[in-house]
């Protein structure tokens, strides 16, 4: 929580003005009972109308001051707390941007969303309450005690009993609420996880008719959240009536004691003072009640703050080293030197002892059965993960020693699952460029064999793309993702099974156009189809994370059993021996 307070103190001006308004509001509230007792004790018994009006007028001014200051307190507390929320959200967003895949795998995406939204709102709401109460309540308590004592020491003694009872009650409630608070955030995480999965996989759920199963899954987490929230609310439900009971019991005791004084004691306290003491005691106890809200809100906010800090304190395992290289003399060279890689928490390596070199103008293809490590191999080049053994060099520099911006600036990646952002086609193709150039975007779209379908769409290049690219076909999405990589004019192209949704004709036309487009770049191509990779300068054949063959098609046909099996499972002998497919 300490770090969160630091973040709040960035709003110095709002906090300073808040302090002034709090002081004004407390002063006004403490002054009123003084004037009230004066009017009851002296002005009314003397029938002094002028004095009654003048004291009444002064009281009215204090009421106005109190109201104005309370409005100011609310405004400045809100300014600081909402600003705090905005800053923390931005910090989380910025931090998560630099997370490597390992951190994403560690936190779930839904948990990151809950932390960015719900957890920040929890802390923000707590801060708002804290700002309004933490300064006001102690001043009110101290001022109230002093003024009550000044009016009547004997009556004020009632506080010695009621205050500790109230404080003990609040502490017990806070203790009960604390574990429930943590659980509530966890349950909310689960609700987000199920909702997110359900919404992204809605087509699959429909196709498999699993709506009921999904509903049951959602109902379970939703019910758990409800049960936990009911428990939490029950605990909180005890608090207000409990505190009110203590408050009213104190008031009854005060009235009884004051009445006894007037009836039985020779030196009775004036009625005005009794009323003033009752008001001060009420103000003191109300302040403690408000402070108790802080105690109750604190555990949940502390849990949320902890969850936020976990995100902010996580150091990405993939980050720039000191003196990271930002310039390289040569361009477009990729080398794997005896690379072995194991996923965090995995038992066996996903890749073992992989070595190859790829130079500008060359196409390196990677083929193998599913799960053989093809995607893992290409994901290591932009450092989505760091290798444990061996090294990967780009332009002769170990990727761990190159700045991530430089490294990733060299790469045009088309991921296995083509993803499009919400926006227009032109915005998607020009994504990541400071000033996308229309001619460049059009050229990239043409190379990616997308020109016809883009221009046929209403709005053409300005046609909207909906969330995740849901309003274009799988093949169109792949081609736009390819166009996005081409528009970047990278030194290294990485296509991770990016042609799988294309028909054979488009696949062949696209590869041909790419060859002339990327003739000075290195192309690394993962594919399942032999026809896509047959003419590559180098083919790596992967099996269970190991490279079981490396060479051109003709060489591998002679030397690699696994490759031959893949080829004959897709092509006839005649097709396999042809130069072009």
Distance CA 500, CA 508 (A): 12
Considering beta carbons, is residue 443 or 529 the nearer one to ligand ATP? 529
To ligand ATP, the closest distance from the beta carbon of 374 in angstroms equals 4
Task: State both tokens at 539.
Answer: 């083919």
Distance CA 443, CA 450 (A): 10
State whether residue 550 is helix, strand or coil: strand
Give how far the C-alpha of residue 274 lies from the chain's centroid of Cα atoms, to the nearest Å.
54
481 interacts with ligand ATP by CB under 6 A: no
Distance CA 65, CA 274 (A): 25
Considering beta carbons, is residue 373 or 412 the nearer one to ligand ATP? 373
Q: Which of 24, 360, 373, 475 binds ligand ATP (CB under 6 A)?
A: 373
Q: Burial level of 168, CB count in 10 A (0-12/13-18/19+)? A: exposed
To ligand ATP, the closest distance from the beta carbon of 562 in angstroms equals 13
Taking the C-alpha atoms of 57, 61, 63 and 69 in order, what is their torsion angle to the nearest 10 degrees?
180
Which of 383, 396, 376, 334 shows the shortest CA–CA distance to 521? 334
569 interacts with ligand ATP by CB under 6 A: no
State whether residue 494 is helix, strand or coil: strand
To ligand ATP, the closest distance from the beta carbon of 377 in angstroms equals 7
Q: Which positions from 22 to 61 touch ligand ATP by CB under 6 A, shown as an x/- string?
A: ----------------------------------------
To ligand ATP, the closest distance from the beta carbon of 546 in angstroms equals 12
Considering beta carbons, is residue 287 or 498 the nearer one to ligand ATP? 498
350 interacts with ligand ATP by CB under 6 A: yes
343 interacts with ligand ATP by CB under 6 A: yes
Considering beta carbons, is residue 58 or 416 the nearer one to ligand ATP? 416
**If you write DSSP's letter for every residue of 496-544 in order, what string do you get?**
ESTTTTS-HHHHHHHHHHHHHHTTTSEEEEE-S-HHHHTT-SEEEEEET
Q: Which of 346, 439, 574, 579 binds ligand ATP (CB under 6 A)?
A: 346
532 interacts with ligand ATP by CB under 6 A: no
To ligand ATP, the closest distance from the beta carbon of 66 in angstroms equals 60
Number of H helices, E strands in the chain: 24, 12
Q: Which positions from 394 to 433 touch ligand ATP by CB under 6 A, shown as an x/- string?
A: ----------------------x-----------------
Piece in contact with ligand ATP (CB under 6 A), picked from 223-231, 354-362, 367-375, 487-495? 367-375
**If you write DSSP's letter for every residue of 325-358 in order, what string do you get?**
B---SS-S-EEEEEEEE--TT-SS-SEEEEEEEE
Which of 85, 92, 78 shows the shortest CA–CA distance to 18? 78
Considering beta carbons, is residue 373 or 382 the nearer one to ligand ATP? 373
Q: Applying CB under 6 A, which residues contact ligand ATP?
A: 105, 343, 346, 350, 368, 370-376, 416
């Amino acid at each position: 929580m300490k770090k969160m307070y630091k973040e709040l103190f960035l709003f110095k001006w709002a906090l300073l003005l808040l302090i002034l308004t709090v002081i004004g509001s407390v002063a006004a509230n403490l002054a009123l009972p003084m004037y009230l007792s004066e009017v009851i004790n002296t002005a009314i018994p003397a029938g002094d109308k002028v004095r009654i009006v003048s004291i009444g007028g002064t009281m009215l001014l204090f009421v106005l001051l109190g109201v104005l200051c309370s409005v100011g307190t609310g405004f400045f507390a809100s300014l600081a707390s909402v600003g705090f929320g905005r800053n923390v959200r931005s910090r989380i967003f910025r931090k998560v941007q630099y997370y490597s895949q390992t951190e994403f795998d560690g936190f779930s995406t839904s948990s990151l969303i809950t932390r960015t939204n719900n957890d920040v709102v929890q802390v923000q709401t707590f801060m708002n309450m804290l700002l309004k109460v933490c300064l006001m309540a102690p001043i009110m308590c101290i001022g109230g005690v002093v003024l009550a004592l000044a009016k009547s020491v004997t009556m004020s003694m009632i506080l010695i009993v009621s205050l500790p009872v109230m404080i003990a009650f609040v502490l017990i409630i806070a203790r009960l609420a604390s574990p429930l608070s943590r659980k509530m955030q966890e349950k909310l995480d689960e609700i987000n996880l199920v909702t997110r999965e359900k919404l992204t996989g809605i087509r699959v759920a429909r196709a498999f008719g699993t709506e009921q199963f999904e509903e049951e899954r959602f109902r379970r987490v939703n019910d758990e959240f409800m049960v936990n929230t009911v428990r939490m609310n029950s605990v909180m439900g005890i608090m207000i009536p409990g505190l009110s009971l203590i408050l009213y019991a104190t008031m009854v005791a005060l009235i009884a004691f004051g009445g006894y004084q007037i009836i039985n004691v020779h030196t009775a306290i004036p009625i005005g003072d009794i009323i003033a003491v009752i008001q001060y005691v009420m103000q003191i106890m109300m302040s403690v009640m408000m402070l108790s809200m802080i105690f109750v809100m604190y555990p949940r906010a502390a849990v949320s703050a902890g969850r936020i800090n976990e995100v902010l304190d996580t150091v990405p395992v993939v980050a720039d080293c000191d003196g990271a290289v930002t310039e390289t003399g040569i361009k477009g060279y990729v080398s794997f030197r005896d690379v072995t890689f194991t996923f965090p928490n995995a038992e066996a390596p996903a890749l073992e002892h992989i070595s190859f070199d790829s130079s500008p103008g060359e196409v390196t293809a990677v083929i193998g059965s599913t799960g053989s490590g093809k995607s893992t191999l290409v994901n290591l080049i932009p450092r989505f993960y760091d290798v444990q053994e061996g090294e990967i060099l780009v332009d002769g520099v170990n990727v761990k020693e190159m700045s991530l911006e430089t490294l990733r600036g060299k790469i045009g990646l088309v991921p296995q699952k083509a993803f499009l952002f919400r926006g227009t086609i032109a915005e998607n193709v020009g994504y990541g460029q400071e000033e996308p150039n229309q001619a460049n975007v059009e050229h990239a779209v043409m190379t990616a064999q997308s020109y016809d379908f883009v221009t046929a769409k209403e709005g053409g290049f300005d046609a909207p793309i909906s969330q995740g690219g849901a309003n274009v076909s799988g093949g169109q999405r792949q081609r736009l993702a390819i166009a996005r990589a081409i528009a970047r004019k990278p030194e290294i192209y990485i296509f991770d099974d990016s042609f799988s949704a294309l028909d054979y004709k488009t696949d062949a036309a696209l590869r041909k156009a790419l060859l002339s487009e990327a003739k000075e770049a290195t192309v690394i191509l993962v594919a399942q189809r032999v026809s896509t990779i047959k003419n590559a300068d180098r083919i790596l054949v992967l099996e269970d994370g190991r490279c079981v063959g490396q060479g051109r098609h003709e060489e591998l046909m002679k030397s690699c059993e696994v490759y031959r099996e893949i080829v004959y499972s897709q092509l006839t002998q005649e097709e396999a021996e042809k130069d072009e497919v």
